[in-house]
């Protein structure tokens, strides 16, 4: 069960918030080899690596229209409705993020504004592994479509029979994403980086993955391809007081723990009684999980921390900077206002992390490993770049010109000054 830490001294907190060190360096050489092979041999390398790593022999990486049709027929009506509802909520939330062009006049005759322009080509990586993450396809595909990305390339690993999970294909069809390729792992990231005969090169890559995918995404950056954010194992921190329902808290801890054995689970409370009750509930609920072995192993590396009061709990959470933060205390709104570092926050007894993972509308692609101190989760902004504009009237240049001339002189940039002076001179003769 959870490792108990009772009233730790603040001097020990930096040690408590440490995540397990990811030994990425040990696999970098392997990833370099994959990148070189894909760059040099294209689709042939992808098919070879799929046979080697996924143990699947393919003749083609393409998903055919017939496969999409069959997938739709395999999805139960209940799941189709659920995916459509989640799609509607996620669309509504991300649609609200559109930036309205708002020109301002910084001084008479000097007008400035900013415009959002879609990244033209983006790659979406959707893991197939132990859980086919069609929900992640919703989280990435919807803002990509809303942003207006011209080319959206979906890569996802095939199953043992050479097919893609039908829920992923159904979701892709729902989002009208038609460029779908059967390839996973670091080789998929390499393909999106360089391009192959069947996979277009993209400008930015999105999506979670294992340590090989994580290192591959970092390597893609060395070739001028952007990525959504640094990634690591998924994590949750729960702040709860004596008013919290222990069964609810245990369920939320387990929902994170079942992601994978490297998931990070932290429970912070000021109630010794609640800590004991949560531990009892964890044992009871754990036995009913299909991924019991994974969740149980995760919990052995997880923390149950008893702190003095809400002030300490808040301070610890902000220091930890969790990907997911659940606040299950009586005065959750007051505490929420003081949160400075978190990927996504869930307030009150009836806001489980699961709703954000699937269907509330917020995005579940979030910063991990403490990166919530400086990174935001994926949003509509992730799929656009911001271009600034300015327009000066003759009056505007006459007003601002002398300021620029003085500053250019001070930096010794004569041509910068001249670009203004020559225009001011021409205006003086009008």
Q: Which residues are the active-site residues?
A: 323-324
| Lookup: tokens for 295 | 């969740």
- Positive or negative, the CA dihedral 110, 116, 117, 123 is positive
Ligand-binding site membership of 364 (annotated): no
Ligand-binding site membership of 256 (annotated): yes
Ligand-binding site membership of 37 (annotated): no
Ligand-binding site membership of 411 (annotated): yes
Which stretches does DSSP call E strand in 190-301?
204-206, 226-227, 235-240, 264-269
What is the distance, to the nearest Å, from the Cα of residue 143 to the centroid of all Cα atoms in its chain?
12
Q: In sequence order, what are the residues at sequence separation of 6 or more whose Cβ sits closer than 8 angstroms to the Cβ of residue 7?
A: 306, 307, 308
Q: Which residue is listed with tokens 């040099």?
A: 40
Ligand-binding site membership of 234 (annotated): yes
Ligand-binding site membership of 210 (annotated): yes
Ligand-binding site membership of 318 (annotated): no
d(CA 371, CA 401): 42
The 8-class DSSP code of residue 44 comes to H
Ligand-binding site membership of 416 (annotated): yes
Angle at 8 between CA 7 and CA 14, to 5 degrees: 150
For residue 30, count other CB atoms closer than 10 A to its CB: 13
3-state secondary structure of 18: coil
| Lookup: tokens for 178 | 């038609």
Angle at 324 between CA 305 and CA 79, to 5 degrees: 130
Burial of 265 (0-12, 13-18, 19+ CB in 10 A): buried
For residue 267, which phi and psi values (nearest 5 degrees)? -120, 120
Q: In sequence order, what are the residues at sequence separation of 6 or more whose Cβ sits closer than 8 angstroms to the Cβ of residue 399?
A: 107, 108, 109, 110
d(CA 171, CA 389): 38
3-state secondary structure of 112: strand
What is the distance, to the nearest Å, from the Cα of residue 377 to the centroid of all Cα atoms in its chain?
5
| Lookup: tokens for 337 | 């206002």
Ligand-binding site membership of 309 (annotated): no
d(CA 102, CA 84): 34
d(CA 42, CA 266): 43
Q: In sequence order, what are the residues at sequence separation of 6 or more whose Cβ sits closer than 8 angstroms to the Cβ of residue 139?
A: 90, 363, 364, 365, 378
What are the DSSP calls for 156-198, one per residue? E---TTSPPPHHHHHHHHHTT--EEEE--HHHHHHHHHH--SS
Binding residues for Zn(2+): 256, 259, 357, 416
Binding residues for NAD(+): 125, 187, 210
Binding residues for substrate: 234, 256, 259, 324, 357, 411, 416
């Amino acid at each position: 069960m959870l490792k108990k830490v009772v009233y730790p001294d603040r001097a020990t907190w930096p040690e408590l918030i440490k995540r397990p060190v990811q030994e990425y360096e040990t696999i970098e050489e392997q990833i370099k080899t994959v990148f070189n092979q894909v760059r040099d041999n294209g689709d042939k390398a992808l098919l070879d690596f799929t046979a080697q790593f996924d143990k699947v022999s393919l003749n083609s990486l393409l998903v055919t229209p017939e496969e999409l049709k069959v997938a739709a027929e395999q999805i139960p009506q209940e799941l189709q409705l659920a995916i459509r509802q989640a799609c509607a909520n996620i669309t509504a939330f991300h649609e609200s993020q559109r930036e309205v062009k708002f020109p301002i006049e910084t001084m008479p005759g000097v007008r400035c504004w900013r415009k959002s322009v879609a990244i033209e080509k983006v790659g979406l990586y959707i893991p197939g592994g132990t859980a086919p993450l069609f929900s992640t396809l919703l989280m990435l595909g919807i803002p990509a479509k809303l942003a207006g990305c011209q080319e959206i390339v979906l890569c996802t690993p095939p199953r043992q029979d050479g097919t893609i999970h039908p829920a992923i294909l159904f979701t892709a069809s729902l989002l009208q994403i038609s460029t779908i390729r059967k390839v996973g792992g670091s080789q998929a990231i390499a393909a999106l980086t360089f391009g192959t005969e069947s996979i277009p090169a993209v400008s930015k890559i999105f999506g979670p993955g294992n340590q090989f995918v994580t290192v591959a995404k970092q390597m893609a950056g060395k070739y001028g391809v952007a990525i959504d954010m640094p990634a690591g194992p998924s994590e949750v921190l729960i702040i709860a007081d004596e008013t919290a329902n222990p069964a609810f808290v245990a369920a939320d801890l387990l929902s994170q723990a079942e992601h994978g054995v490297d998931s990070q689970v932290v429970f912070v409370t000021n109630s010794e009684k609640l800590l004991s009750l949560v531990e009892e509930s964890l044992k009871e609920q754990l036995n009913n999980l299909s991924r019991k072995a994974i969740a149980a192993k995760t919990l052995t590396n997880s923390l149950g921390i008893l702190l003095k009061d809400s002030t300490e709990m808040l301070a610890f959470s902000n220091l930890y900077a969790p990907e997911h933060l659940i606040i299950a205390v009586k005065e959750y709104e007051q505490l929420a206002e003081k949160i400075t570092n978190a990927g996504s926050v869930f307030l009150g007894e009836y806001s489980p992390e699961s709703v954000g993972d699937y269907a509330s509308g917020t995005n579940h692609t979030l910063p991990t490993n403490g990166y919530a101190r400086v990174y935001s989760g994926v949003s509509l902004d992730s799929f656009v770049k911001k271009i600034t504009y300015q327009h000066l009237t003759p009056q505007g240049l006459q007003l601002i010109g002398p300021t620029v001339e003085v500053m250019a002189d001070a930096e010794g940039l004569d041509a910068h000054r001249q670009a203004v002076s020559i225009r001011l001179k021409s205006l003086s003769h009008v």
